[in-house]
A = this chain, B = another copy of it.
Amino acid sequence: MPANPAWVKALKPSGPQGSELLAQERNRSQLPVESVSEFLFSKEHLESKRRILKILQEDPVFDKTPDYYAGRAERFERALARAKRLRQLKVKHSWTQDELYLANGLISDSGAYLLHDGMFTVTIREQGTPEQHEKFLRPAERYEYIGCYAQTELGHGSNVRGLETVAEWQPDEKCFILHSPHLTASKWWIGNLGLVANYAVLMAQLVIRGKSYGPHPFVVQIRDLKTHEPLENVHIGDIGPKFGFNSMDNGFLLFNKVKIPHISMLARFSRVDPETNEYVRPPSASLVYGTMTLVRASIVKAAGHALARGVTIATRYSAVRRQFVDKDAPEWETAETPVLNYRMVEIRLLTNLAATFALHFTGKTMMQLYQRQHDSMNKNPGNPELSGNLLADLHATSCGLKALASSIAAEGLETCRRACGGHGYSNFSGIGPFYTEYLQNTTVEGDNYLLTQQVARYLLKSAEAVLKGAPATNDTTTILKQYLSRQGQGAAFDVLNNDADIVSAYAWRASFLTFEALKQRQEQKMGWNDMLVDFYRLSKAHSQYLVVKSFYSTLEDPETVDKLDRSTLDVFRSLFRLYALHTMEQEGTDFFAASACNLQQLTLARTKSVMSLLKEIRPHVIRLVDAWDFPDYQLDSSLGRYDGRVYEDLFVRASERNPLNNLTIDPYPFSPTLIRVDKSQSKL
């Protein structure tokens, strides 16, 4: 479009300027931003990030300027170019895999090799034999084979056992025949399949002599390595535009009786003996268990980070955006108030700010637990039952936490977007586009509603064991036993004045709901289906307990006390209380029905505690979001700029960079007198 005229360029936003307001905010608090960042991420991580950021910003491939305007094909191609360049930079700068992911996070593109690195090579490494490593993994590590992970089908997602794609063993020819018997057997949603991958790890029903042995993994070539065209009798394509993730080529895949050799079936755990044509069973399923737990724990931690992005943007913008004069202000007051001062904005943003830390600490705790568990299992393989018990606990809790955390983050991001008012609807806010990408987390790695059944099943089983007198072997059985032992006396938690009591109240309510559900299932013989709504509620209650407990324990941890100064720790304690009491109030009926607290406490939590916590935390909020350490490059947001130059940025993006402004159109419905001019293509 024509450049902005001089008189427009001379304009400034009306004062006070955003930069002044953010500077004032930062001056209101002494919170040591850098040491909080180090506490959250470690010094090494921050240094890596800054080093990598510099490299990215110097490379035109990573310029984000055109991103928000681009159509789908352009976005895909841009993401592909970036993914390639990142692999080149990784070699050049000897980045670790973690540093590559860090770079990817700064770019925030889904990436053309995301599934290759994250699922294809990982699956072959974990489930392949040494011979298969040689044949498939080495070329994959050299990016000669570029893979995807093809499990979900058009007609089947969560119910993996119901997959329709068949791999039938041919005893005579010693090979498998892959086939898609129905349209619903088409692989669907497979990341990086649509245009990028030439190989796939394929989950298919293993059939030997007419008998099905359930889904197993196969490594299959799907495109020609030179022409990149699909192989014969293999039909592949991209599945079309999505709510988010549009730079990713999620794809479909169908086979028409395609032969693959014996070596294609990943055979570390189970295999077909080519001599006897017999199926050889896997020793145990617990290893796969473990990987899923780790993936879910990382979703929990990532949820905190994702939500923090929205909170950073909305909080900074709310400090800059001014609206109305306070109703109770003296009459001579005419200056408008930054909206962040309104209690209705505070309660939305500060509770979500508290949630970012709650989720971050919970994810961290989960990952440490997993690591400890994993190590002790490797050290003491002699006691598989005990380890199994702890692992099962970790597995179940990770299911519930994944569901809760990704729901909190998704809803929180939308809350942040709306808290930005009208400008939250602009893509330049940076929240909307990111929110649509994030939303897939509520469905992948286990649908958030389905997962809660696994948690409930585990809790009921634990409660049954406890009732039968089993000893407490993990946290779940411990709180259930504690509840039972005090049930007669009732609870008397001082939730308004004692942080440990808050945690106990959450444990009490989760235990109460567990035993209630058990009673309904066992005594009243209620059907599984009829209990799903209560199971959802139960899983949520138990996961909320885990979050509150992790938050509390992190602040009590001597390591934390060592890293944060006293007043910073006080701010975090206020954030803990805000998160815990606000959530308690939201779930009031439950807590009250469980006698975990009384009506007076609930009312006071809402009207007094939460309100004064908002005021305590308020001066520190800009520094707290600063501590999340998002570079402007990563946020790519007009509203969330570190320097507060919100309006200047919105204006430049709209006026100077917006390709729609190259058009002049004929506006008249009846008398088409004008030509359509595209100034980007012609000189008219």
Contacts and interface: CB of A to CB of B under 8 A. Distances in A.
Contacts of A659: 73
A164 interface: yes
A660 B79 CA distance: 14
Contacts of A87: 669-670
A341 interface: yes
A195 B442 contact: no
Given A254-B11, A660-B72, A528 B328 contact: yes
A530 B602 CA distance: 18
B327 A152 contact: no
A611 B530 contact: yes
Contacts of A196: 665, 667
B654 A238 contact: yes
Contacts of A448: 418
A651 B186 contact: yes
Interface string A556-596: 00000000000000000000000000000100110011000
Contacts of A80: 665
A41 interface: no
A233 B69 contact: no
Interface stretch (A50-58, A342-350, A387-395): A342-350
Contacts of A1: 237
A670 B237 contact: no
A599 B593 CA distance: 7
Given A87-B669, A228-B666, A238 B660 contact: yes
A42 to B, nearest CB: 29
Given A242-B425, A667-B228, A668-B143, A237 B530 contact: no
Contacts of A74: 71
A599 B599 CA distance: 11
B651 A69 contact: no
B73 A72 contact: no
A155 B585 CA distance: 35
Contacts of A660: 72-73, 76, 194-195, 238, 240, 249
Contact of A668 (B146, B343, B529): B146
A336 B228 contact: no
A512 to B, nearest CB: 12
A532 interface: yes
Contacts of A676: 77
Interface in A65-97: 68-74, 76-77, 80, 83-84, 87-88
B88 A240 contact: no
A425 B157 CA distance: 13
A383 interface: no
Nearest to A663: B195
Contact of A68 (B241, B433, B439, B674): B241
Contacts of A322: 155
A88 B670 contact: yes
Contact of A256 (B7, B181, B198, B241): B7
B611 A235 contact: no
Contacts of A426: 239-243
25 contacts: A5-B235, A7-B256, A11-B183, A11-B186, A13-B155, A14-B182, A68-B241, A70-B71, A71-B74, A112-B667, A162-B323, A183-B651, A188-B422, A195-B667, A196-B665, A229-B664, A238-B654, A239-B426, A239-B658, A241-B427, A252-B655, A344-B449, A347-B533, A418-B443, A425-B439
Interface of A: 1, 4-5, 7-8, 11-14, 68-74, 76-77, 80, 83-84, 87-88, 112-113, 143-144, 146, 152, 154-159, 162, 164, 180-186, 188-189, 194-198, 226-229, 233, 235, 237-244, 249, 252, 254, 256, 322-324, 326-328, 336, 341-345, 347, 414, 417-418, 421-422, 424-428, 432-433, 436, 439-440, 442-444, 447-449, 527-536, 585, 588-589, 592-593, 599, 602-603, 607, 611, 647-648, 650-651, 653-655, 657-661, 663-670, 673-674, 676
